[in-house]
């Protein structure tokens, strides 16, 4: 079989619009298998006291809300225990999993939906195309914009040995609801970090070796939306929320058919060793990558200054050689990311000493 051209699965259905979250009940009701098969809502616990949002979750029969802390990014052990509890709590499979939150909740929802129909532990499925069975119906509802997790074919998890996604044709959501009103309440810092995830996706995709005519228009659109949101003073709050949500979607689509680059290769190591979260971790790394992305970093620094964002410094200052080695091993294992950024210079530019030098700057 000639699989050199990716046959890429996409989100089956998407709704966009301010207030569209209120349609959730109508949207999922035809997907209910029967009265005993509940919908399970995985909801970021930042909404635990948000009665306006909670009142809009259309609970019926045995449907259940499980609040999830995003103190730490999703783990394979967390997915396994959620799946175990769901299986023990009901004699039949749920009708669906609905993730409401940022990238963390979207990835958890995808992973739980997949692991309800695949045996073993979720860490056995980290990597590419190990999932054998279609997951159960799953819906993603982002409440912060930037990761592109709402559109991607991966559910990124930290496992015992790696931070790596469950990449599969069954990972993308069956349904996404894009309601920019849900992003109300995000702090300025988190808005910036997660929003910059999208900006960095654009720069890495648009400057990468894997760029092609499918990815480029998505990357160009997302980049121009990011510039408007983060540099233009004329947008209303609503316009800015709407545009960032669509930037995230397009940034995710751009990456789908290309690849990320050096920022992600380094920040996965940071996240695994130090637990640095994806949004801020990418910003900390990207701030020092002028050598790889000169124009992109210059603009990033302008955006950072405009919004008075100060990033942590010296986070690797006290690490041992062994700890640097752990990060370097993780980073080097992400060869496609380096290849996308460096092409044929891959071997000469990704020496262990070069990576240690890069990590030491952070």
Structure-token pair, residue 262: 């050096």
- Range in contact with ligand NAD (rule: CB under 6 A) among 183-191, 242-250, 284-292, 314-322: 183-191
Sheet with 138-142, edge to edge strand ranges = 13-16, 175-178, 138-142, 96-101, 39-44, 64-68
279 sits near ligand NAD (criterion: CB under 6 A): yes
Residue nearest to ligand NAD (CB): 103
Structure tokens given for 310: 């100060």
Q: Decide: residue 201, CB within 10 A, 0-12 exposed, 13-18 middle, 19+ buried.
A: buried
Q: Does 154 bind ligand NAD (CB under 6 A)?
A: yes
Largest CA distance in the chain: 60
Site string for ligand NAD, 91-130 (x = CB under 6 A): ----------xxxxx-x-----------------------
167 is a site residue for ligand NAD (CB under 6 A):
no
Query: What values do phi and psi take at 211, rounded to 5?
Result: -60, 140
**Residue 131 interacting with ligand NAD (CB under 6 A):** no
Spatial separation of the C-alpha atoms in residues 324 and 342, rounded to whole Å: 22
Instruction: Considering only the stretches 3-11, 151-159, 218-226, 340-348, report the one whose residues sit in contact with ligand NAD under the rule CB under 6 A.
Output: 151-159
Q: Nearest-CA neighbor of 328 among 359, 292, 291, 349?
A: 359
Count of CB atoms within 10 A of residue 361's CB? Answer: 13
Which CB sits closer to ligand NAD, 38 or 279? 279
Count the residues of the shown chain that bind ligand NAD, applying the rule CB under 6 A.
Answer: 29
Question: What is the C-alpha separation between 179 and 177, in angstroms, rounded?
Answer: 6
How near is the Cβ of 104 to ligand NAD at its closest, in Å? 3
Task: For 297-354, give the DSSP string.
Answer: HHHHHHHHHHTT------TTTT--HHHHHHHHHHHHH-HHHHHHHHGGGHHHH--HHH
> Based on CB atoms, which residue is closest to ligand NAD, 9 or 185?
185
Burial class, 40, CB count within 10 angstroms (exposed 0-12 / middle 13-18 / buried 19+): buried
152 binds ligand NAD (CB under 6 A): yes
Residue 9 interacts with ligand NAD (CB under 6 A): yes or no = no
Instruction: Verify binding: residue 74, ligand NAD, rule CB under 6 A.
Output: yes
Does 159 sit near ligand NAD (CB under 6 A)? no
What whole-number distance in Å separates Cα of residue 149 and Cα of residue 338? 21
| Contact status: 186 vs ligand NAD (CB under 6 A) | yes
Q: Smallest distance from the beta carbon of 40 to ligand NAD, in angstroms?
A: 18
Selected range binding ligand NAD among 35-43, 77-85, 153-161, 350-358, rule: CB under 6 A: 153-161
148 near ligand NAD, rule: CB under 6 A? yes
Q: What are the φ/ψ torsions at residue 101 (nearest 5 degrees)?
A: 160, -155
Q: Which of 11, 21, 42, 44 binds ligand NAD (CB under 6 A)?
A: 44
Q: Which residues face 315 on adjacent strands?
A: none
User: Min. distance of Cβ 329 from ligand NAD in angstroms?
Assistant: 19
Strand partners, 166: 127, 155
- Residues of the shown chain interacting with ligand NAD in the complex, contacts defined by CB under 6 A: 44, 46, 70, 73-74, 101-105, 107, 143-144, 147-149, 152, 154-156, 182-183, 185-186, 190, 194, 197, 278-279
């Amino acid at each position: 079989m000639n699989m050199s051209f990716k046959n890429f699965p996409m989100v089956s259905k998407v709704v966009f619009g301010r207030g569209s979250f209120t349609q959730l009940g109508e949207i999922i009701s035809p997907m209910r298998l029967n009265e005993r098969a509940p919908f399970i809502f995985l909801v970021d616990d930042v909404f635990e006291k948000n009665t306006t949002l909670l009142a809009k979750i259309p609970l019926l029969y045995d449907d259940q809300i499980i609040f999830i802390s995003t103190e730490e990014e999703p783990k394979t052990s967390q997915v396994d225990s959620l799946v175990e509890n769901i299986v023990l709590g009901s004699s039949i499979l749920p009708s669906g999993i609905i993730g409401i939150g940022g990238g963390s909740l979207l990835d958890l929802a995808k992973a739980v939906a997949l692991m309800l129909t695949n045996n073993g532990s979720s860490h056995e499925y980290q990597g590419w195309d190990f999932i054998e069975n279609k997951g159960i119906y799953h819906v993603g509802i982002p409440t912060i914009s930037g990761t592109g997790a709402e559109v991607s074919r991966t559910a990124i998890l930290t496992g015992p040995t790696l931070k790596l996604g469950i990449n599969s044709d069954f990972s993308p959501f069956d349904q996404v609801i894009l309601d920019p009103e849900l992003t109300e309440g995000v702090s300025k810092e988190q808005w910036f970090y997660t929003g910059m995830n999208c900006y960095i996706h654009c720069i890495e995709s648009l400057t990468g070796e894997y760029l092609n005519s499918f990815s480029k228009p998505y990357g160009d659109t997302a980049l121009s939306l990011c510039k408007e949101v983060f540099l233009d003073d004329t947008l209303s709050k609503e316009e800015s929320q709407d545009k960032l949500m669509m930037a995230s979607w397009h940034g995710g689509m751009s990456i789908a058919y290309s690849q990320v680059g050096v920022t992600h290769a380094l920040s996965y190591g940071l996240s695994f060793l130090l637990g640095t979260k994806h949004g801020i971790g990418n910003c900390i790394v990207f701030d020092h990558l002028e050598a790889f992305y000169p124009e992109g970093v210059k603009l990033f620094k302008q955006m950072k200054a405009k919004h008075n964002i100060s990033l942590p410094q010296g986070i690797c200052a006290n690490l041992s050689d062994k700890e640097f080695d752990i990060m370097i091993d993780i980073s080097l294992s992400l060869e496609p990311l380096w290849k996308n950024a460096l092409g044929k210079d891959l071997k000469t530019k990704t020496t262990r000493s070069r990576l240690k030098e890069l990590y030491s700057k952070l």
